[in-house]
A and B are shown apart, each in its own frame.
Chain A
Amino acid sequence: MSVADQRKLSAEPLPVVRPPSPLADIFRVLWSNSKARVGMVLAGFFILVAIFGPLLAPYNPNDTNFPFMLSPNASHWLGTTQSGQDVLSQLIVGTRLSVIVTFAVGAIATVLALMIGLTAGYLAGWVDEILSFLTNVFLVLPGLPLLIVLASYAPGAGLGLIILIIGFTSWPWGARVLRSQVVTLRTRDFVLAARLAGDSRARIIGREILPNMLSLVMANFLGSATYGLLAAVGLQFLGFGNPNQISWGSMLYWAQNSGALLQGQWAWILAPGLCIALLGMSLTLINFGFDAISNPRLREDSE
């Protein structure tokens, strides 16, 4: 085992549970973990708001007919913006784009990480050497500065491009964790048995290896999603992306640029930031549950 393999705890060989647990089973274990349960309820809430947002918002988020920079009051619970929009309505409607960014980045990063991790881990040899080297290099390159340089060449691009840029730069962490898991699985007896039975490479990977690292893949998805949320908000705060698309990040951009704090409209900045932190936290909490699935030592009931 090389040094690289030993670098991170989650990259250690994990106890493998056979037979592969179906989705319902995973859900049951997650639900039995109190942290993951809180996380799932919170995340579910945000997803519902993202879906039904426009129906829940008290006003049209683009309506500029209200007084400017109102502090929170009875008719505008979170006050108004500098151009007279209702902050609460923006927050509710903006949930949709922020949730989309979060999960889209998670999905892109996880698919890329899976492809690279599986290839490197299963093929081994020089393919592994090259892919692992690339993974480690991109792991070390600081993400946000790279994102800023990339995004600055595409000014005014919409959220779609932001999602792609973040997704395509956040795979290395997952690729490394998944690769080392594949390496430990590859030599297990059941994989050998499948190989001796003449199964194709694709079938071995799809039927034998992948189901055994499902919880790791899900943990990776949640980690990348949290990262994507924070990275997108950071970029939007700097004015990248299209500031006219309402999301939590663009709300913070406008609030900062119109000096919301210095004019006493604290709710305009507090609310989106709190939502970001809560959504991020809910994903982290669910991740505790997945940690417990893939590593029984972390289970609460094993005390």
Chain B
Amino acid sequence: MRYFLRRVVFLVGTLWVAITLNFLIPRLMPGSPVQAMMAKFHGRGQINPHAAQAIRIMLGISSGGFFHQYLQYLNQVSHFNFGVSYTYFPYSVSHMIGQALPWTLGLVGLSTIISFAVGTGLGIVAAWQRGRRADGFLTTVSSFTSTFPYFWFALALIYGLSFILHWFPLSGAYSGSAVPRLNFGFVWDVVRHGILPSVTIVISSIGGWLLSMRNNMINTLNEDYVLLAQAKGLHERWIAWMYVARNALLPNITGFAMAIGFVVGGSLLTEIVFAYPGIGYLLYNAVINEDFPLMQGIFLIIVVCVVLANFVADLAYVLFDPRVRRGTSV
């Protein structure tokens, strides 16, 4: 129970820091949102000085003190009110995010689970075969693939498999002519569009899981209970999976915390290359149009998703580690 409370406090604390950062960054940086918006309209003729006041009201920037603004911001955010998007006016930021989020959750969620499962499995194999050829091959290849820039690997895949071989569509999440309907044709279309982005994320992130699992395994292999299991004459594979891997998995589950942020960042770039209509592509459009409310809303949503994923990983930890469950020695 104490563990659970700690995790909840951490969850709330992290969200609070993210929201506060989001509030502070625009105010610490030179220039104001109003100036940014004025500059955006400047090319389209003369602006009335009174326009600044109008824009300020439209963007919901109160003239109150710093602390007052902060409280107001907290209140807005807690109601998922991130203001109006400059680019997609008159749509609200929440509306735009709502449109894009399911695509990202589907793509990144699935790819991360695949990558974690396969990477961890291969890490177990590499550790068990350590010093032999399979290990050398797996570790060298994965230290190479884990330093691929995501977007670069995505470009290479597009060039080879879509542009030259025409096996997969070039971009998007479904064909322009397809009607979004829940039938086999449309689902197949979505899957076909999702394969390359997904392969990009899996290949670029799998190395990290593999390498850390291999290290955990090698540490666990030297434990006395492994020696005992071997002395008892248990089957090699049984020892590897039931004795060593189960214990080595624990740090990897929490390593999830550190990796997921990196994977999300990489998948943003992947979406941009594939023009995949998710959060990353939306963020890219927000950036090139200097759409600050949209940018900040997206940042917060990403943080919320990542923090929640972490929270779930922490709870899963309890399932795997009885010591935490009983609240002993931790």
Q: A interface vs B, CB < 8 Å?
A: 1-3, 6-10, 12, 35, 133-134, 136-146, 148-150, 152-155, 173, 226-227, 229-231, 233-234, 237-239, 252, 256, 261-262, 266, 269-270, 272-273, 276-277, 279-281, 283-285, 288, 291, 295, 297-298, 300, 303
In the docked arrangement, what's the CA distance between A288 and B139, Å?
A: 10
Q: Which of A1, A227, A262, A277 has the most CB of B within 10 A?
A: A277
Contact string against A for B residues 276-304, beta-carbon threshold 8 Å, 1 for contact and 0 otherwise: 00000001100110101001101100110
In the docked arrangement, what's the CA distance between A266 and B163, Å?
A: 11
B interface, over-half SS = helix
A-B contact count (CB 8 A): 182
Which chain B residues lie closer than 8 Å to A139 at the CB level? 257-258, 261
Name the distance in Å between A188's Cβ and chain B's nearest Cβ: 20
B272 contacts A by Cβ under 8 Å: yes
Instruction: Mark the stretch among B49-57, B90-98, B150-158, B233-241 that contacts chain A.
Output: B150-158
Q: B interface vs A, CB < 8 Å?
A: 3, 6, 10, 13-14, 17-18, 21-22, 25-26, 29-31, 130-131, 139-140, 143-144, 146-153, 155-156, 158-159, 163, 212, 215-216, 218-219, 222, 250-251, 254-255, 257-258, 260-262, 264-266, 268-269, 272-273, 283-284, 287-288, 290, 292, 295-296, 298-299, 302-303, 306-307, 310, 324, 329-330
Q: Please tell me if the beta carbons of B13 and A137 are within 8 angstroms of each other in the complex.
A: yes
Given A7-B255, A145-B264, A281-B143, A273 contacting B288 (CB threshold 8 A): no
Given A150-B25, A239-B288, A276-B147, A256 contacting B257 (CB threshold 8 A): no
Q: Please tell me if the beta carbons of B295 and A233 are within 8 angstroms of each other in the complex.
A: no
Closest to B305 in A: A142
Given A140-B257, A233-B149, A149 contacting B216 (CB threshold 8 A): no
Given A35-B140, A173-B258, A276 contacting B295 (CB threshold 8 A): no
9 A-B pairs with CB atoms under 8 Å apart are A3-B3, A6-B251, A9-B212, A141-B14, A142-B302, A149-B25, A149-B299, A154-B29, A291-B215
A interface, over-half SS = helix
Q: Please tell me if the beta carbons of A277 and B307 are within 8 angstroms of each other in the complex.
A: no
Name the distance in Å between B1's Cβ and chain A's nearest Cβ: 13
Name the distance in Å between A184's Cβ and chain B's nearest Cβ: 15
In the docked arrangement, what's the CA distance between A266 and B272, Å?
A: 19
Name the distance in Å between A97's Cβ and chain B's nearest Cβ: 16
Q: Please tell me if the beta carbons of A144 and B266 are within 8 angstroms of each other in the complex.
A: yes
Q: Please tell me if the beta carbons of A261 and B212 are within 8 angstroms of each other in the complex.
A: no
Q: Please tell me if the beta carbons of B17 and A141 are within 8 angstroms of each other in the complex.
A: yes
In the docked arrangement, what's the CA distance between A2 and B329, Å?
A: 9
Q: Please tell me if the beta carbons of A145 and B215 are within 8 angstroms of each other in the complex.
A: no
Which chain B residues lie closer than 8 Å to A154 at the CB level? 29-30
Which chain B residues lie closer than 8 Å to A149 at the CB level? 22, 25, 295-296, 299
Name the distance in Å between A16's Cβ and chain B's nearest Cβ: 16
Given A7-B251, A239-B288, A261 contacting B148 (CB threshold 8 A): no
Q: Please tell me if the beta carbons of B131 and A303 are within 8 angstroms of each other in the complex.
A: yes
Given A3-B6, A238-B272, A140 contacting B306 (CB threshold 8 A): yes
Which chain A residues lie closer than 8 Å to B146 at the CB level? 280, 284
Which chain B residues lie closer than 8 Å to A134 at the CB level? 17
Given A136-B10, A149-B299, A226 contacting B268 (CB threshold 8 A): no
Q: Please tell me if the beta carbons of A256 and B155 are within 8 angstroms of each other in the complex.
A: yes
In the docked arrangement, what's the CA distance between A31 and B212, Å?
A: 23
Q: Please tell me if the beta carbons of B268 and A273 are within 8 angstroms of each other in the complex.
A: no
Name the distance in Å between A25's Cβ and chain B's nearest Cβ: 23
Name the distance in Å between A1's Cβ and chain B's nearest Cβ: 7
| Other A-B pairs, 7, CB within 8 Å; known A149-B295, A153-B26 | A9-B215, A141-B21, A226-B147, A230-B147, A237-B269, A238-B284, A261-B159
Which chain B residues lie closer than 8 Å to A280 at the CB level? 146-147
Q: Which of A6, A154, A233, A291 has the most CB of B within 10 A?
A: A6
Q: Please tell me if the beta carbons of A297 and B222 are within 8 angstroms of each other in the complex.
A: yes
Which chain B residues lie closer than 8 Å to A281 at the CB level? 143-144, 147
Given A152-B287, A152-B290, A273 contacting B3 (CB threshold 8 A): no
Name the distance in Å between B42's Cβ and chain A's nearest Cβ: 15
